[in-house]
Chain A
Amino acid sequence: MTKAAYKGPLEQVDPCCYRIPRHYRSDMRVDGLIFANEALIEAIRSDQAPEQVANVATLPGIQVASLAMPDIHWGYGFCIGGVCATDPNEGGVISPGGVGYDINCGVRLVKTNLFLNDVKPHLRELIKNLFNTIPAGVGRGGAYKYNAQETRKIMADGVKFVIDRGLGVPADLEHTEALGRIDGADPSQVSDHAVTRGAEQCGTLGSGNHFLEVQVVDSIFDPTVAKAFGLELHQVCVMIHSGSRGLGYQVCDDALAQFRSVPGRYGIQLPDRQLACAPVDSPEGKKYIAAMRAAANFGFTNRQLLMQQARDVFANTFGRSWQQLGMELLYDVAHNIAKLEEHVIDGKKKKVWVHRKGATRAFPAGHPEVPEAFRQVGQPVIIPGDMGRASWVLVGSAGSMAKTFGTTCHGAGRAMSRTAAKADAAGRRIDKELEARGVIAMASSRLGLAEEQPKAYKNVDDVVNVVHEADLSRKVARLRPIGVIKG
């Protein structure tokens, strides 16, 4: 299948937003809105992602508009960077494709009290220790082997399960979205096959675009918020990007198989079968929601264990406890999730199902779900970039509540397919190129670095500029990688 360009309408609404008008297709219930600027929109037109935004606009119960973030790219059903909210009181649906296969893929940023000059002399040793300790890549099982019963407990209790076993502290919970546990999870709705896939994988990084990076704060854009977050120039941090591993994938896979004939049963006509969905209040909808929440709790716990292993490696490398090294969790956010949230729509408070597929929650100052420590300034938003350039910490802003159901972008978005990136990397030593740029990268597979090379990604700065200008989330600090481990 060659990528056909989008030929439909894209009307510029303002410098950071383009509209696909509802009248473009007779089955659209609302407009599509893509947050992007002129610099990004041409690339966005070059595949069918805008058509996918239009497809989502056909879903029953969809509120206001079908949205997409500036890191939009072609996905399954929903585009990556796709966001929508559905109202159960209007026949609103839940769609597994609007969450993604990797349920609660997300990212967390861990602070340290180390600075670049403290770490530089030990960097190679540190990255090697991280690489040797943290399980990454195909077929590499984890250090924590939970049986089926324990895995189901993790799905029910979330991060608290491992904190009660000494693998973290209560403050870690306060600094995790949903306090590391989404209510209403039902592990009994998760298949045995999913549990088997997940049991040996809690605390493992995975492969593809997942990573653990040692980063240094390169620039501060908002000194007040940076201070509230505890971020300083040249401070060393650890960013962890991973999800619910095979367990979450299997939950999505099981749901999509079960949903094959479901839309028809409820009289729902879909332009793309990958938008398979069910009314939120249907038995099928409720079952998926319960399983999705369970998988999400597994994802939070996975990142908690990855952080704990990183804390141990730093302690061993620097000869001080992780607490003495100030390795506090700044925040953990999900970027593949659906959540029941209250939003104001046409002046009325409504509880709606917000689907974020490759999009991050970005609640502003004052929102009760923002941790108390940050409530005056807003929710930290962690945006992973690529391993050669930068990642970002943003802060949730009022514009997100007004325009995007409290949502912002999630990362850089791919610019090059895996096959193209691999071909481009032929004959090159990506690890040496990165080292020349001051980044020590270690990957467990030959393809890992080739397919994930910086060129394969859009420039995250361009994406962040749009969400900043649209006031979805504002820039706080830019971080650059100095060490990367990948599967």
Chain B
Amino acid sequence: MYELFEHTADLGLRVRAADLETVFAEAALGLFSMIIDNPESIRPLEERSLELSGDDREYLFFDWLRALLSLFESEHWLLAKSEVRLGPAGLTARLWGEPFDPARHLPAHEVKAITYHELTVKPTADGWLAEAIVDI
């Protein structure tokens, strides 16, 4: 339900799902598949929670990816899966993952920032589509 797409110098993430909460959860997996070459090796050993406020859907999607990237940058923590609850004022999420282990996790790209370039979250005929481009 997520795929990576072309952009001249960087990488794009595209997610389609029937509901918006699944879009957010899938986008999280997509982000970590850009960072780690073998994301299936990330184990859901530790649980964390995350809360974000915001009423603009696209900015909330952006802030979600940004918060997850920040977890990796500051704590080298990798996400295995998440459960997202969206509300009118923002989101709450449960996250499962583990610390980066160079013996098991193969680095793919250094994702340096989530960009606003072509940032999209929109309804489609069969659900939702979200896109974001990340700076490598």
Complex CA gap A235/B112 in Å reads 36
A418 adjacent to B11 (CB under 8 Å): yes
Contact partners of B59 in chain A: CB under 8 A: 260
Contact partners of A207 in chain B: CB under 8 A: 109-110, 136
B26 within 8 Å of A (CB atoms) = no
A419 adjacent to B4 (CB under 8 Å): yes
B116 adjacent to A256 (CB under 8 Å): yes
Q: Which of A3, A47, A76, A206 contacts B117 (CB 8 A)?
A: A76
Within 8 A of A (CB), among B58-76: 59, 66, 70, 73-74, 76
Q: What string of 1s and 0s marks CB contacts (under 8 Å) between B5-40 and chain A? A: 111111110000000000000000000000101000
Contact partners of A102 in chain B: CB under 8 A: 112
A138 within 8 Å of B (CB atoms) = yes
A487 adjacent to B9 (CB under 8 Å): no
B98 within 8 Å of A (CB atoms) = no
Of the listed residues B11, B35, B117, the one surrounded by the most CB atoms of chain A closer than 10 A to its CB is B117
A197 adjacent to B74 (CB under 8 Å): yes
Complex CA gap A256/B109 in Å reads 23
B108 within 8 Å of A (CB atoms) = yes
A420 adjacent to B6 (CB under 8 Å): yes
Name the residue on A nearest B116 (C-beta): A274
Complex CA gap A47/B8 in Å reads 10
Contact partners of B136 in chain A: CB under 8 A: 207-208, 418
A293 within 8 Å of B (CB atoms) = no
With A101-B135, A197-B74, A446-B37 as known contacts, state yes or no: A414 contacts B112, CB within 8 Å: no
Contact partners of B12 in chain A: CB under 8 A: 1
With A74-B8, A414-B8 as known contacts, state yes or no: A101 contacts B113, CB within 8 Å: yes
Chain B: number of interface residues, binned into ranges? 35 or more
Give the tally of cross-chain contacts (CB within 8 A): 92
Complex CA gap A167/B81 in Å reads 45
Complex CA gap A252/B113 in Å reads 9
Contact partners of B135 in chain A: CB under 8 A: 76, 101, 249
Contact partners of A419 in chain B: CB under 8 A: 4-6, 11
Contact partners of B44 in chain A: CB under 8 A: none
Within 8 A of A (CB), among B40-90: 59, 66, 70, 73-74, 76
Name the residue on A nearest B107 (C-beta): A138
Complex CA gap A101/B9 in Å reads 13
B126 within 8 Å of A (CB atoms) = no
Complex CA gap A256/B112 in Å reads 14
Complex CA gap A193/B11 in Å reads 24
Within 8 A of B (CB), among A243-281: 246, 249, 252-253, 256, 260, 273-274, 276
B100 within 8 Å of A (CB atoms) = yes
With A76-B117, A249-B113 as known contacts, state yes or no: A445 contacts B11, CB within 8 Å: no
A162 within 8 Å of B (CB atoms) = no
Within 8 A of A (CB), among B99-117: 100, 102, 106-110, 112-117
Q: B14 to chain A: closest CB distance in Å?
A: 8
Q: Which of B10, B106, B107, B131 contacts A418 (CB 8 A)?
A: B10
Complex CA gap A249/B10 in Å reads 14
Q: Which of A138, A206, A276, A414 contacts B9 (CB 8 A)?
A: A414
B11 adjacent to A139 (CB under 8 Å): no
With A1-B131, A76-B117, A193-B74 as known contacts, state yes or no: A101 contacts B112, CB within 8 Å: yes
Name the residue on B nearest A74 (C-beta): B8
Complex CA gap A258/B115 in Å reads 14
Complex CA gap A197/B114 in Å reads 15
Name the residue on B nearest A102 (C-beta): B112
Q: Which of A206, A246, A252, A418 contacts B73 (CB 8 A)?
A: A246
A366 within 8 Å of B (CB atoms) = no
B74 adjacent to A196 (CB under 8 Å): yes
Complex CA gap A138/B73 in Å reads 10
Contact partners of A101 in chain B: CB under 8 A: 112-113, 115, 135
Complex CA gap A417/B12 in Å reads 11
Within 8 A of B (CB), among A26-85: 47, 73-77, 80
Q: Which of A137, A206, A274, A417 contacts B7 (CB 8 A)?
A: A417
Complex CA gap A276/B117 in Å reads 12
Contact partners of B35 in chain A: CB under 8 A: 138
With A206-B110, A273-B116 as known contacts, state yes or no: A139 contacts B100, CB within 8 Å: yes
A398 within 8 Å of B (CB atoms) = no
Complex CA gap A79/B5 in Å reads 19
Complex CA gap A209/B131 in Å reads 24
Contact partners of A74 in chain B: CB under 8 A: 7-8
Complex CA gap A207/B42 in Å reads 23
Complex CA gap A253/B112 in Å reads 10
A447 within 8 Å of B (CB atoms) = yes
22 of the cross-chain contacts (CB-CB < 8 Å) are A1-B7, A1-B131, A3-B8, A73-B8, A74-B7, A75-B117, A101-B115, A101-B135, A102-B112, A137-B107, A137-B110, A138-B107, A139-B107, A193-B70, A193-B74, A208-B110, A208-B136, A249-B113, A253-B66, A414-B8, A418-B7, A445-B108
* Besides A76-B133, A101-B113, A138-B109, 5 other A-B contacts (C-beta < 8 A): A1-B5, A207-B136, A273-B116, A276-B116, A417-B9
- Which A residues form the contact surface with B (CB < 8 A)? 1, 3, 47, 73-77, 80, 101-102, 137-139, 193, 196-197, 206-209, 246, 249, 252-253, 256, 260, 273-274, 276, 414, 417-420, 445-447, 487
- Per CB-CB distance, the 8 closest pairs between chain A and chain B, nearest first, are A138-B107, A417-B6, A207-B110, A76-B117, A249-B112, A138-B110, A419-B6, A249-B113
